[in-house]
A and B are shown apart, each in its own frame.
Chain A
């Protein structure tokens, strides 16, 4: 199958997924940042009980530091992103592309049919999905960060 068809038929759970760390709303932001650093994640899921998941992202952190850096010890629940893409794991990849474009969001929370949070995906998973279709391009690529000219003769 070609790329176009794959985007319209493959479910989002076939993308590279990231661990969805869930924290309660009252968790201090400072503690959330430590978790994000430790796990190398740009996003954590903020959720209490059965309510719809929301996310705290690097973007939320950036705005917080710019506007009220002293708020790092406040509960994360008051500083989550206003919108969050939530998809069922069986939805197709094209729906993720559409949502990311519309909501200009970087992350998507994947859930099962019952609404249980399973994983995170987003721009990174999508880019890796596309790159896999062009594996032969990698073979012809300039290695490293040095310009072509600097590598001439190497």
Chain B
């Protein structure tokens, strides 16, 4: 009985369940690259980081001296949040000098959207577009910080394909 069922469900002739599946038509090198290249293959590090208890003035100094738009706030190797120019605009600019000594943990964006290093560039772009955040932390698979992805890095990647 069991053998009959088996034979019915799994006939000797192989049937490909995905024979009608049509993969998305990424025919161009640029489209293929965006889907196939992983975020971790881009230049995502080094990235400026600071500890959650860093005072605002010091975080600002790091951002200005390194000319970066975002700081990853980390506790050891783990991401606690992200502090960007948008946080300066929305939470600190008009509150100066009261915020000068406040720890960055009080001003940063907590639980930011992130991508894993193995996700595709297209997926990262979709995260950026959906979340409205231009700076997306990249994590290793063990959830430790790998780096930061932002549009300029994507623009540089894309422009290589536009030369051809």
Contact = CB atoms under 8 A, between A and B. Distances in A.
Interface of A: 2-4, 7-8, 30, 33-34, 36-37, 42, 58-59, 61-63, 65-67, 69, 72, 94, 97-98, 100-101, 104, 106, 123-124, 126-128, 130-134, 136-138, 141, 145, 147
A106 B158 CA distance: 15
Contact of B97 (A69, A97, A134, A136): A69
Given A4-B30, A33-B94, A42-B89, A62 B130 contact: no
A137 B120 contact: yes
Nearest to A64: B93
Name the interface size band of chain B.
Answer: 35 or more
Contacts of B4: none
B159 A3 contact: no
A141 B88 contact: no
A63 B63 CA distance: 9
Contact of A65 (B96, B113, B155): B96
A124 B128 CA distance: 8
Contacts, number: 132
Interface in B80-112: 85-86, 88-90, 92-94, 96-97, 111-112
Nearest to A60: B85
B61 A127 contact: no
Interface string B24-52: 10011111001100000000000000000
A130 B114 CA distance: 18
Interface in B2-33: 24, 27-31
A133 B31 contact: yes
For the complex of A and B, the 3 pairs showing the least CB-CB separation, nearest first, are: A131-B129, A123-B151, A58-B85
